[in-house]
Structure 1
Amino acid sequence: MKHFLIILLLVSSPAFCQDLAVGQHLPAFTVSNDQQTIKSMDLKGKVVLINFFATWCGPCMQELPQMQQFWATHKSNKNLVVLVIGREHTQSEITAFKAKKGFELPMYPDENRTVYSLFATQYIPRNYLIDAKGKIAYTSVGFEQGEFNKMLSKIDELLKQQQ
């Protein structure tokens, strides 16, 4: 019985979730909002930051203003694509949320977790950084300032490789 409980705890821990990891390829997906449609196959050759969030998520609300600042200073970089995806949100919810918060980030609804389920099974906020070859170069779960800064450094490193 004791061994069964240990195995059950290990299998149910976040470390054993079937989440995409560094080195794996970006899965095929399409996201659309009221302005554009993005297909993952069109992202090759770009550095891509994918953020999954929800409007009710406290850690997401800590992270998104910083994501907005990052976007504001990097949005003109043609080698970078930022996709902020609202897990279980409709387009109208995303539009209202952006207006209320004053965000200009490119946000996309994922009402049925169609895209999210290709990356992870649970937990937000979640970030995936994809290199120009289409491989995952960095991942994070939750929000912690030091980890967010580490991600920004990794983005800078990948963008320098593009020059």
Structure 2
Amino acid sequence: MKKWIGLLIIIILIGAVAWNSLKEPATEFGLTDEGTGLEKGDTPPQFKLETLNGEPLSLQDVKGKKVILNFWATWCDPCREEMPVFEAYDAKHEDVVVLAVNITDKDVKVEKIAQFVDEYGLTFPILLDKADDVSKAYEVITIPSTYFLDEEGIIQMKINGAIDETMLDLYVKQL
């Protein structure tokens, strides 16, 4: 009987250690909270990803500008609806940078992403999150998810779901 109790205690301890290691935040990107998600006033995790064109781009590269940071995938219908909105906004506003992070490990091949970009005539940077590291660091659960960063690089707002033109204007004015 004592052996079974000892074995049960060991199994419980191993399970507790495994559970804690699975829910560790992505500290390599600067996320150190208790998994509650990024909120207004937080400094977002820094990252460097490759663009669809093969160029490296980091969040640090756009510091000093307002940033719309959108997480998306080609198969996401709400993402398809909002991409023309982001494109039109980006074309009209030089003081705001639109960065679209494709959650590539959950999407189709890179060639299909390129076809999507061509189909929608997107000209803003498309970043490829091939290992899903950045979306994990930002704790993206639903797509589309969009973060609005001010000129100092601080999160001012996060929106889950598609954004239309009126909403986008309103949110950026609040930065």
TM class by smaller structure: 0.7 to 0.9
Which residue does the alignment assign to 1:104?
Answer: 123
Deviations 1:8-52 (A, max 9, x none): xxxxxxxxx742111110211012112532222233221111001
- 1:65-99 C-alpha deviation (Å, 9 max, x unpaired): 1111111212xx1x322101111245433212112
Residue in structure 2 matching 1:20, options 38, 50, 59: 38
Unaligned runs of 5+ in 1: 1-16, 159-163
**For 1:11-160, what aligned pairs fall within 5 Å after superposition?**
18-33=36-51, 34-74=53-93, 77=94, 79-88=95-104, 89=107, 91-143=110-162, 145=164, 149-158=166-175
**Alignment root-mean-square deviation, CA:** 2.2
Q: SS of the residue aligned with 1:108?
A: strand
Return closer, same or farther for 1:151/1:22 CA change in 2, 3 Å cut-off.
farther
State whether residues 86 and 98 of structure 2, in contact with CA within 8 Å, keep that contact through their aligned partners in structure 1. Answer: no
For normalisation by structure 1, the TM-score amounts to 0.74
Structure of greater Rg: 2
**Is the contact made by 1:44 and 1:134 (CA closer than 8 Å) also made in structure 2?**
yes
TM-score normalized with structure 2 length: 0.69
- Distance in 1 (alpha carbons) for counterparts of 2:140 and 2:72: 13
Partner-residue secondary structure (3-state), 1:28? coil
State whether residues 25 and 136 of structure 1, in contact with CA within 8 Å, keep that contact through their aligned partners in structure 2: yes
The answer to whether the 8 A contact 1:60-1:124 is kept is: yes
Greater CA drift, 131-140 or 101-110: 101-110
